[in-house]
Structure 1
Amino acid sequence: MQGKLDPVTETQQEIKRVVQFLYKCKKCNPCLVGDPDVGKTVIVEGLAAKIVGQAVPPKLLGNKIYALDMGRLIAGAANRGEFKERLIKVIDEVKISQGAIIIFIDELHTLVGAGGGGSALDVANILKPTLARGELKCIGATTMQEYKSYIEKDGALKRWFQSVDVLEPSIAKATEILKGLRHKYESFHGVRYEDKALVATVMLSNKIIRDRFL
């Protein structure tokens, strides 16, 4: 695992909040809420790096984070019954781990039917009892619009998932993130990047690229 995750530089506060929720006895499921491309997945990767580096509270030491790929779970299922069986097997594996497995669900809102499809509704209904009993530790991620449209309107999911706001990084913060990644790209491309080049990259990106976040 060492060296495979990007360095965690400017997401410490968000990771700290995620850890605080995971450490609770009840309502221990954080949901990262923010615009696309602001770094929600990076926060989960940062938490994984901290677990590997044993830089987390004792309760989380040795935990493993698995991303639940709904597309692969649904693919090839002949019917809703087969899909449900697959999901229950995943849940059973999590239960057997006795809290050592954390499930990451990107696009959490799809569990409550966004985009249509009966299977999405089944996922939420199957997960709810497990969440209620505290048998599943889960990190979700979604946008603010989708959180309000789907999660907030589902009383049970709103109770069990605690929102963690993830904002677009400022120019200064984006620059520090880029500095943290500098060595990785210098090694890959066989070049050196001066600080002023990184600052210029962030400034120009903020000025020119209008359809994405820093």
Structure 2
Amino acid sequence: MGFAQQYEPGKDPKVLEKFTKNLNKEAIAGKLDPIIGREDEINRVIRILSRKTKNNPVLIGEPGVGKTAIVEGLAQRIVKGDIPSNLQNKTIYELDMGALIAGAKFQGEFEERLKAVMNKVKESNGDFILFIDELHLIIGAGKTQGSMDASNLLKPMLARGDLHCIDATTLDEHRLYIRLLALLVKKLQIFVKKILIEKYNFN
């Protein structure tokens, strides 16, 4: 029996190292570019993350507009201590879609890996924040198109408030798929401005 068949991500203490990137460590190592001109967006994300409910911001914009840079800027501010006290000990982990998919040969293997990552974030009791770029890729753009559908994993964790996350997607994909997830979870509240940042109220 090969390694791929034996591997159980739920029992792997290093599952975050395998399937995510620690943006705090990247910031400390100087591997993230300085962020210029995104202070307003970063501050809005901070305000949303600081809420007790409606605290999962979603960055919406076309590819290349700087959604990931906003999250990287947040990580840089965390490691510098330039952040409200309630967020000072937070660590941001960026989900690595390539690593999650790589070598996933069996049905449900991708979902098991994702579930293990989300459980690790949950076990941190709020100290870890999961950044999911291109959220639409994991909640199902239609299985006939080869996408993964992890909405059944996300839905209960978000509904219970177990998962603290920042998500990013494009406007077109948001219109098609993210609202579908919201209908499943219910109680979605949306606040949209120029650089679209939305607050998900799953609680």
Q: 1:136: how far off? A: 0.8
Q: Which residue of 2 aligns with 1:181?
A: none
Q: Which residue of 1 aligns with 2:148?
A: 120
Counterparts in 2 of 1:90-129, with a 5 A limit? 90-114=117-141, 116=143, 120-121=148-149, 123-129=150-156
Normalised to the residue count of structure 1, the TM-score between the two structures is 0.70
Point out where structure 2 has 5 or more consecutive residues left out of the alignment. Answer: 1-27, 197-203
Q: 1:3: how far off? A: 3.2
Give the whole-Å Cα distance in 2 for the aligned partners of 1:65 and 1:88: 17
From the CA coordinates, give the structure whose radius of gyration is larger: 1
Q: 1:151: how far off? A: 0.8
1:4 partner SS: coil
Give the whole-Å Cα distance in 1 for the aligned partners of 2:38 and 2:130: 20
Give the whole-Å Cα distance in 2 for the aligned partners of 1:74 and 1:161: 31
Q: Does 1:20 align with 2:20?
A: no
Gap change, CA 1:6 and 1:167, over 3 Å in 2: same
Give the whole-Å Cα distance in 2 for the aligned partners of 1:161 and 1:67: 24
Gap change, CA 1:64 and 1:160, over 3 Å in 2: farther
User: Percent same amino acid among aligned pairs?
Assistant: 50
Give the whole-Å Cα distance in 2 for the aligned partners of 1:72 and 1:163: 33
* AA in 1 matched with 2:164: K
Return the structure number with greater helix share: 1
Gap change, CA 1:72 and 1:35, over 3 Å in 2: same
Q: Which residue of 2 aligns with 1:61?
A: 88
Gap change, CA 1:84 and 1:13, over 3 Å in 2: same
Counterparts in 2 of 1:167-182, with a 5 A limit? 167=195
Q: Does 1:77 align with 2:136?
A: no
Q: 1:78: how far off? A: 2.8
Q: Which residue of 1 aligns with 2:33?
A: 6
Q: Which residue of 2 aligns with 1:89?
A: 116
Contact 1:17/1:164 (8 A) holds in 2: no
Gap change, CA 1:95 and 1:159, over 3 Å in 2: same
Q: 1:9: how far off? A: 2.2
Contact 2:92/2:131 (8 A) holds in 1: yes
Q: Which residue of 1 aligns with 2:57?
A: 30
* AA in 1 matched with 2:121: V
Gap change, CA 1:88 and 1:153, over 3 Å in 2: closer
Q: How many residues align?
A: 167
Gap change, CA 1:76 and 1:2, over 3 Å in 2: closer
Normalised to the residue count of structure 2, the TM-score between the two structures is 0.73
Point out where structure 1 has 5 or more consecutive residues left out of the alignment. Answer: 169-214
Q: Does 1:144 align with 2:171?
A: yes
1:80 partner SS: coil
2:130 partner SS: strand
Q: 1:68: how far off? A: 0.8
